[in-house]
Amino acid sequence: MDQEVCVRIGIISSGGDSPGMNAAIRAITRCALDRGVEVIGIHEGWQGVVDGGAKYQRFDWRSAGGILQWGGTILGTARSDIFRTIPGRRQAVRNLVNAGIDGLVVIGGDGSLTGALYLYQEWGDHLAALAAEGALPAELAQNPRPFRIVGLPGSIDNDQYGTDMSIGADTALNTIVEAVDKLSSTADSHQRTFVVEVMGRRCGYLALMGAVATGADWVLIPEEELDARWHHRMTEALKRGREAGRRHDIILVAEGARHSDGLPIRAETIQEVLRNRLGVEARVTVLGHVQRGGSPSAFERVMSSRLGEAAVEYIIGPDPTPVMIGLVNNQTKATPLTEVVAQSQAVNAEIDQGNFRNALVLRGQSFRDSLDLLKTLTRAEPREELADKGRIAILTGGPDAPGMNAVLRTALRIARNEGQDVVGVRDGFQGLARGDIWDLNWMDVQNWINLGGSELGAIRYELTEADLPGIVKTIKAWDIRGLIAVGGMDTYEQVGVLVKGWNRHPELEIPMICVPATIDGNLPGTEVAIGADTALNNIVDAVDKIKYTAGAAHRAFIVEVMGRRCGYLGLMAGIATGAEMELLPEDNATLETLLRDTELLREGFRKGKKLGIVIMSENAFPYYDTEFVRRVMEAESNAAFEVRESILGHLQRGGVPTAFDRIQGSRLGAHAAKQIMSDIAEKRTGAQVVGIMRRGVVFTPFAEALAQMDWENWRPKEQPFLQWHGLADTLAKPGPGERAGEG
């Protein structure tokens, strides 16, 4: 690092707060200090930058300790009218220069980043003016050092250009999902209709994705153009749904939804329409600021930590261009701040001017695809009558994973909407072999979206060649022309048995698609497996609770997580919980390394630590179980700390799926259904794996996917998540330049 470029940075959080800001502050602080850069935390956003004085606080390593699980922001935030003025920004420049700050990391939404861009563009003019006033030395204006600005997207609305997700959006979405799940249960009991208003003044992300994740029956968002008869179409659709057997209706409306003339659509307006047209007394629930609150989700904590690290790497680098660091296709990406601000303002302008189609285009293809998907899922019945296309069979195999039902629900409705018959298979491949199958209808899956496990049943079953004649018989009897198999590596292996049987049983040579669903995160052909996010949140919730049990005692907890021989859950949980260390199968740990890790913990407790969290994958050691590891650490602690163990077990697979797993499950289910219908129509055969990679949703030939596996360790040869091992180690250090585990 060139010390002349950046030696001291400031951090502010500005505008509306969002869960995950503290994780970003923690990562920025520790990554900067570890690289020899001083850190100043500036309180109360841009207002604090203008006020100066006590609002500027020198941060050390422990300033960012213990904040990972907190909602909001420890720096505080405020909306500043004075910063919107030239004199206000000039005062901000004066304070920043006097504090010796060379660069600024700004966590916030459109308004905050627009202010950051103005500050950057005016920097030289402000220096000259301040020098002319005698407020700053003249040489500062004559030879100004480049001032660095990096933005991080912080907004629950997820309305910022240059990132797939903004800090706070995932947590807000989970809050919405939890609320609507609870409303759905009471609505179903009383056959009621609920109108739920969510945030999003100019962006319908929360309403749209909330509707996908909860199985809502109608959605109203700012980006969608509504004609004068929108209320007629809505009430007719709801009426048809009730006639088809639906017991309740959920309508999600973004607070910024508008009529075609630009007037706002309020929840009370919808309530009145339902009363007048359907005679329904709908209940209105405005979720409000509860969407901003609460502890950040696991995804939020990991993403914010990654963005914070990337912000530091950029701000100390050679390029002075102001940028925003976002997450695009699961990779951090720097986008020029001028482009971010211009594109975000363009969307807002199109909405304000009533150019809704243009606004929808600017939101991107993924947003439009989600809206199209929702329009299919919310139908009361299929668009097309059943045609003579044979049947697609769908099943779930191996250990169940949260989010499987989202895949099944979406695949069924996408296929049935095109007139394609679908059958469900009970208990995976065992059911396929014994012919335990039934026709699935549109309304059969109505309430599956928020259910854990698999409604079809998912069991471990070792499929052998002896089962193939039974499967052939089932395929013939039901005229099955395609198979969608949802599950983990067990399921992939069973599909492999079918593929190997093609030569002896030509009837098996039908298109097959594997959809990745396992909490272990150990599948080839995808970086995202359905169920892993729910499991990770279950782990994080458990560890957050464990932390409160430490009391005044010096205590270390070894928390064992699942994953077989894959350390995905272990590493991600370590980052998301702020663990002191992670013991992963990929590290090939030995007794010697265990003793060294224990020594690091011992030194940390001697320096004042009261609690230590060790995340241990279930097969981190070939021969040592968690109890043995606990005994070793206890014996080698020299009475510096106690050691407790917590084996989380099957609670990691339990509970309702998170919003992320429901949305990605729906996404993959839709792609799988469309692909297999295309294969059937074009008479293509062969097995494929659908997955989510850096370039989006991809299909990988089955043989190619299996070739990516390290079969000895039951995990892919290449595991992209391991690139964040260094980040986990940095954040776990007791101080800059020290070793992880010491503090």
Q: 683-707 b/e with 16+ CB inside 10 Å = b?
A: eeeebbbbbbeeeebeebebeebbe
Q: What is the DSSP string of 693-720?
A: ETTEEEEEEHHHHHHTEETTTTEES--G
Q: Residue 335: helix, strand or coil by DSSP?
A: strand
Which residue carries 């390394």 as its tokens? 593
Quick check: 380 and 500 in contact, CB under 8 A? no
User: In terms of Cα–Cα distance, which of 201, 251, 259 is closest to 230?
Assistant: 259
Determine the Cα–Cα distance for residues 303 and 324; give it in Å rounded to an integer. Answer: 14
In 3D space, the residue among 241, 200, 242 whose CA is nearest the CA of residue 224 turns out to be 200
User: Of 120, 99, 83, 80, which Cα lies nearest the Cα of 39?
Assistant: 99
- Report the distance separating Cα 725 and Cα 306, nearest Å: 11
Q: Which residue has the tokens 């663990």?
A: 579
Q: What is the DSSP string of 280-327?
A: ---EEEE-GGGGG-SPPPHHHHHHHHHHHHHHHHHHTSS----EEEEE
Element (H, E) at 8: strand 8-13
DSSP string across 636-677: HTTTS-EEEEEE-GGGGG-SSPPHHHHHHHHHHHHHHHHHHH
Reading the block at residue 152, the tokens are: 């991080």
* CA–CA gap between residue 193 and residue 237 (Å, rounded): 13
The angle at the Cα of 198, spanning 194 to 202, to the nearest 5 degrees, equals: 135
Rounded Cα–Cα distance for residues 544 and 537 (Å): 10
The Cα–Cα gap between 355 and 222 comes to 10
Which residue among 34, 51, 102, 157 is the active-site one? 157
Q: Looking at this protein, which amino acid is placed at residue 55?
A: K
Q: Is 159 a catalytic residue?
A: no
The residue type found at 567 is G
Instruction: Measure the CA–CA gap between 688 and 701, rounded to whole angstroms.
Output: 5
Q: How far is CA 618 from CA 240, 370, 492, 588, 712, in A?
A: 50, 37, 22, 13, 16
Question: Are the C-beta atoms of residues 197 and 229 closer than 8 Å to each other?
Answer: no
Nearest to 225 by CA among 363, 418, 386: 363
Q: Where are the beta strands (DSSP E) in 469-610?
A: 480-487, 512-516, 555-561, 581-583
Are the beta carbons of 241 and 217 closer than 8 angstroms? yes
Determine how many CB atoms are found less than 10 A away from the CB of residue 464: 10
φ, ψ at 619 (rounded to 5°): -120, 40
By annotation, the residues acting in catalysis are 157
